[in-house]
């Protein structure tokens, strides 16, 4: 079979597209939680990930030795959202409708999405929890505030039922359902918190993230924790050095 000129050009174009795609995959998208792609190597995988190994304010951390202070209350102004869940290959993420926010010390941050890590990323006095939820908020300047919720083994948690019935099992799979969820129902009643200055816990490990980890864990049944573990396996970054940061806790 002979190729005409245009078929050759098309074949070449496809070849180039493939080459560009694999180059992208090896420099950017290929991090994970184990072996050569694991957290110890993130900082060396790409220039963009340098903060992962060289940053001095990285997350997560062990939440111990916190300084008690009269911290300002966080105002949670969460509205219902349609349920849109995506498995991005690293975590199960719920993308949240516009219009929900938190306010801390006069700054407002809009809720963008929340996602899960098993086991927890933050530890308390070296103790880890079955799961941890991160609610990611962004202000108008693009600065991030992440609210962490520690989740321990216990009673089945009905507030998570709608999400758990729509967990996308495969990477890049999306699920939507005609139900409203409200993130405020996913939090503990007590909103006392730890706070410190940290980073994203995944590449590129960007810093200047305001971390707010709620002091009171919530419960989920072992079955519920296993449901998400089966999908994501282990997706927690180990705790990072404090360096000269201060961890505060509500009095």
Q: Nearest distance from residue 165's CB to Zn ion, in Å?
A: 22
Site for Zn ion in 102-141 (CB under 5 A): 134
Asked if residue 168 lies in contact with residue 85, where contact means CB atoms within 8 angstroms, the answer is yes
Q: Nearest distance from residue 220's CB to Zn ion, in Å?
A: 17
- For residue 9, give the DSSP letter: H
Site string for Zn ion, 68-107 (x = CB under 5 A): ----------------------------------------
Based on the number of CB atoms within 10 Å of its own CB, is 25 exposed (0-12), middle (13-18) or buried (19 or more)?
Answer: exposed
Q: Nearest distance from residue 134's CB to Zn ion, in Å?
A: 4
Q: Nearest distance from residue 201's CB to Zn ion, in Å?
A: 5
Range list of H helices, the chain: 5-24, 42-45, 51-54, 161-164, 222-232
Pairing of strands 101-104, 67-69: unpaired
Of residues 90 and 248, the one with the C-beta less far from Zn ion: 90
Neighbours of 140 (CB within 10 A): 9
User: Is residue 240 within a helix (H) or strand (E), and if so which, with residue range?
Assistant: none
Report how far residue 110's alpha carbon sits from residue 101's, in angstroms, rounded to the nearest whole number. Answer: 4
| Residue sitting closest to Zn ion (CB) | 134
Would residue 90 show up in a list of annotated catalytic residues for this protein? yes
Closest CA to 214 of 164, 130, 149: 149
Q: Nearest distance from residue 218's CB to Zn ion, in Å?
A: 16
Of residues 134 and 210, the one with the C-beta less far from Zn ion: 134
Given 90, 115, 122, 137, which residue is catalytic?
A: 90
Site string for Zn ion, 191-210 (x = CB under 5 A): --------------------
Report how far residue 238's alpha carbon sits from residue 230's, in angstroms, rounded to the nearest whole number. Answer: 20
Query: Number of residues in contact with Zn ion, rule: CB under 5 A?
Result: 1
Of residues 63 and 180, the one with the C-beta less far from Zn ion: 63
Q: Which residues bind to Zn ion, rule: CB under 5 A?
A: 134
Active site members: 90
């Amino acid at each position: 079979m002979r190729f005409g000129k245009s078929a050759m050009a098309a074949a070449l174009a496809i070849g180039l597209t493939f080459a560009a795609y694999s180059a992208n995959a090896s420099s950017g998208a290929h991090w994970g939680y184990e072996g050569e792609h694991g957290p110890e190597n993130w900082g060396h995988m790409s220039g963009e990930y340098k903060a992962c190994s060289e940053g001095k304010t990285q997350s997560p951390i062990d939440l111990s030795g916190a300084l008690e202070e009269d911290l300002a209350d966080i105002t949670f102004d969460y509205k219902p959202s349609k349920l849109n869940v995506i498995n991005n290959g690293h975590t199960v993420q719920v993308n949240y409708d516009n219009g929900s926010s938190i306010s801390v010390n006069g700054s407002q941050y809009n809720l963008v999405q929340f996602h899960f890590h098993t086991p927890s990323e933050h530890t308390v006095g070296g103790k880890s929890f079955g799961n941890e939820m991160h609610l990611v908020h962004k202000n108008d300047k693009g600065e991030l505030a992440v609210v962490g919720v520690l989740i321990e083994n216990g009673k089945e948690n009905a507030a998570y039922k709608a999400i758990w019935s729509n967990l996308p099992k495969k990477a890049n799979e999306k699920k939507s359902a005609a139900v409203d969820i409200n993130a405020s129902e996913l939090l503990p009643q007590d909103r006392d918190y730890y706070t410190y200055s940290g980073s994203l816990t995944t590449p590129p490990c960007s810093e200047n993230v305001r971390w707010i980890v709620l002091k009171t864990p919530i419960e989920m049944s072992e079955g519920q924790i296993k449901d998400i573990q089966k999908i994501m396996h282990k997706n927690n970054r180990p705790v990072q050095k404090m360096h000269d940061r201060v961890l505060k806790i509500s009095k």
